Amino acid sequence: MTTSAPAADRLAEADRAVADLVRGESAWAALGLARRRELLERVHTAAGEHAAAWVRAAAAYKRLPDDSPLTGEEWITGPYPVLTGTGALAASIRALEAGRSPVDAFTTRPAPGGRVAVRVLPHSVYDRLLLSGFSADVWMPPGITTDEIRDRAGLALRRPKETGGVGVVLGAGNITSIPVLDVLYELYAHNRVVVLKLNPVTDGLLTVFRAVLAPLIDAGAVRILTGGADIGTHLVHHPDVGHVHMTGSAVTHDAIVFGTGAAGADRKRAGTPLLDKPVTSELGGVSPTLVLPGNWSDADLRFQAEHVATQRLHNGGYNCVASQVVVLSSGWAQKDRFLAHLRAALAKAPARPAYYPGSDDRVAQALTEYAGARRIGDRVLIEDLDARDPGPALTTEYFAPVLGVLELPGDPAAFLDDAVTTANERFAGTLGVNLIAHPRTLAALGPALDEAIARLRYGTVAVNAWTGVGYLTATASWGAFPGHTVDDVQSGIGVVHNALLLDGPERTVVRGPFRPAPRSLLHGEPSLSPKPPWFVTNRTAATTGRLLSGFAAAPRWSALPGIFASALRG
């Protein structure tokens, strides 16, 4: 279906897609675990075969030149997480087939507040080599025991004949793996057949997505449609659709659930949704980066400034978990030097087209709202946020290359305590928070660090890493902190990815190296990781991303030397 077709034809095709899935639900229910795994493995193969076409299509709508290192972002956030995700999910199904739990091969440890954490990264020897120095743990809610984690992992695949009806996935328009991963999670975690409605920004990926998901389309479990808001509205209100999952903003969520204008606002206040069916979501927010004071070398200041610039500028700033406000200690002796490096990193990052609709308007809005905002190329830095009255930067997701700086007082311990409270109580959204600190500072904090992590009400917490690493970790959970409701949705309801199919995870905690190799080794950090390929200043990101995707399609020792050689040149 194309958006140029007459409206009646497009609505009729949407109806046919739903009718196909009503019939397909029975066919899906009849498939055992082995057959479902085989279909997933065929999706994995197709993703590898069509990876290059996928990246070309994404680069085309984002208007990236073919030879730009920035196409590495399209490899690493497009086919790569789909390849790793299908591989990890197939391994979970294999465990269930054998009568085991998907988490049997993973270790657990105690976490603060009576929690249990599942170590999901590193898991294989390949993880230890390719992501040296990085780790990820999924923290379960307080009181959930290790035995309960193991017994419940598998979700709907423990009862494959009990299907969940027809669901609609409203696809994202920014990161191209999101629509495919969301479809797979609906189908495998919830046993729900799916119609995917693409965001119009990504219509150029329709052919690729249909090729990648062809095994599931042929099985009658998936349909893919294009179209505008009229098709999305028709689908979510269709009487044969029982569930909706969306990726986007809280504003879009509320328009879908309550309607628009004054009537929609009245429904939200009254708690009477226009859409009376379950809705799960992964939404954005204002993600902070908390930078703890310490005694850093100039190389440390420069590297971490590039790290923060990446957290804001990756994919042009059009990420639900892009950092929007850097929180610094006003008393940090190196604050001014760090800010000088941050300005330089923002200026050094490659320019790119503002492909996402409304971006230029949101940049102009930030420049109007803050007299002290400065342009640095095609991006904006706001250094004069007032802690008493910071304005909209803490509550409005700009979804554009806009970065603010907020200062709070205190030494590392006092600053961290205040910063956690500020992040929890004053920032909109709960999707992700970053924390950057020198290893000596982390050591001095001791148990207070884990206690601070436990206090942070965010779905992903990253220490000396970007929360985007959590997105890229297939076995980690991804989504808002639990507890939101449709009338106060914040960053969403439910999780995705979660290839271990853990029941009700609370958060993912990612840790990374403070320094890149070889400086990490010179300072006693056990990390071989050079500048990560997702850094916007990485010169070989395109080659490294392509090689990593090829490896994820067919893991093999012979591929590693080429990956390492490309990564070291980055």
Q: Give yes or no for a cis peptide into 518 (omega within 30° of 0).
A: yes
Residue carrying the six token digits 């808002």: 480
What whole-number distance in Å separates Cα of residue 471 and Cα of residue 498?
A: 10
Each residue of 181-235: pLDDT tens digit?
A: 999 999 999 999 999 999 999 999 999 999 999 999 999 999 999 999 999 999 9
Question: Where do the H-state alpha helices sit in 204-249?
Answer: 206-212, 214-218, 229-236
CA–chain centroid gap for 112, Å, is 24
pLDDT of 5: 66
The two structure tokens encoding residue 296: 């850093």
The two structure tokens encoding residue 180: 């495919």
List where CATH 3.40.309.10 sits in the chain. Answer: 287-538
Each residue of 265-281: pLDDT tens digit?
A: 989 999 899 999 999 99
Picking from 454, 416, 424, 457, the residue whose alpha carbon sits closest to that of residue 111 is 454
- Taking a C-beta distance cutoff of 8 angstroms, is the pair 145, 172 a contact? no
Backbone φ and ψ of 406, nearest 5°: -120, 135
Tell me how far CA of residue 445 lies from CA of 1, 111, 388, 523, in angstroms.
Answer: 57, 16, 27, 19
- Taking a C-beta distance cutoff of 8 angstroms, is the pair 294, 445 a contact? no
Q: What is residue 401's three-state secondary structure? A: coil
Picking from 366, 360, 355, the residue whose alpha carbon sits closest to that of residue 378 is 360
Backbone φ and ψ of 527, nearest 5°: -135, 130
Q: Which fold has domain 287-538?
A: Aldehyde Dehydrogenase; Chain A, domain 2 (3.40.309)
- Taking a C-beta distance cutoff of 8 angstroms, is the pair 342, 301 a contact? no
The two structure tokens encoding residue 170: 């409203």
What whole-number distance in Å separates Cα of residue 501 and Cα of residue 88?
A: 10
The two structure tokens encoding residue 332: 């940090």
| pTM, to two decimals | 0.96
For a pLDDT cut of 70, what percent of the chain falls above it? 99
Tell me how far CA of residue 245 lies from CA of 24, 169, 170, 185, 292, in angstroms.
Answer: 19, 5, 6, 10, 37
Each residue of 302-329: pLDDT tens digit?
A: 999 999 999 999 999 999 999 999 999 9
What whole-number distance in Å separates Cα of residue 537 and Cα of residue 540?
A: 9
List where CATH 3.40.605.10 sits in the chain. Answer: 7-102+153-248
- Report the length, in residues, of the chain: 570
The two structure tokens encoding residue 510: 């990612």
Q: How many helices (H) and strands (E) does the chain have?
A: 23, 19
pLDDT of 163: 95
Q: Around 287, how many Cα atoms within 13 Å sit in the side-chain half-sphere?
A: 32
Q: Which fold has domain 7-102+153-248?
A: Aldehyde Dehydrogenase; Chain A, domain 1 (3.40.605)
- Taking a C-beta distance cutoff of 8 angstroms, is the pair 77, 123 a contact? no
The two structure tokens encoding residue 178: 């999101």
Confidence of residue 3 (pLDDT cuts 50, 70, 90): low
pLDDT of 4: 54
Picking from 251, 252, 288, 284, the residue whose alpha carbon sits closest to that of residue 394 is 288
Q: Look up residue 203 and give its amino acid.
A: D
Backbone φ and ψ of 484, nearest 5°: -75, 155
- Taking a C-beta distance cutoff of 8 angstroms, is the pair 326, 342 a contact? yes
Each residue of 478-529: pLDDT tens digit?
A: 999 999 999 999 999 999 999 999 999 999 999 999 999 999 988 888 888 8
- Taking a C-beta distance cutoff of 8 angstroms, is the pair 153, 91 a contact? no
- Taking a C-beta distance cutoff of 8 angstroms, is the pair 176, 491 a contact? no
SS3 per residue for 81-142: HHHHHHHHHHHHHHHHHCCCCCCCCCCEEEECCCEEEEEEECCCHHHHHHCCCCEEEEECCC
For the cut 80, the answer to whether the pLDDT of residue 151 exceeds it is yes
Compute the average pLDDT of residues 533-540: 96
What whole-number distance in Å separates Cα of residue 175 and Cα of residue 182?
A: 12
Each residue of 372-431: pLDDT tens digit?
A: 999 999 999 999 899 999 999 999 999 999 999 999 999 999 999 999 999 999 999 999
CA–chain centroid gap for 96, Å, is 27
pLDDT of 249: 92
Instruction: Compute the CA torsion angle 12, 16, 18, 21 (nearest 10 deg).
Output: -170
Tell me how far CA of residue 370 lies from CA of 53, 77, 144, 426, in angstroms.
Answer: 42, 33, 46, 18
Residue carrying the six token digits 């409005």: 396
pLDDT of 384: 85
Q: Which residues in 393-452 belong to E strands, given as ranges?
A: 402-408, 432-436
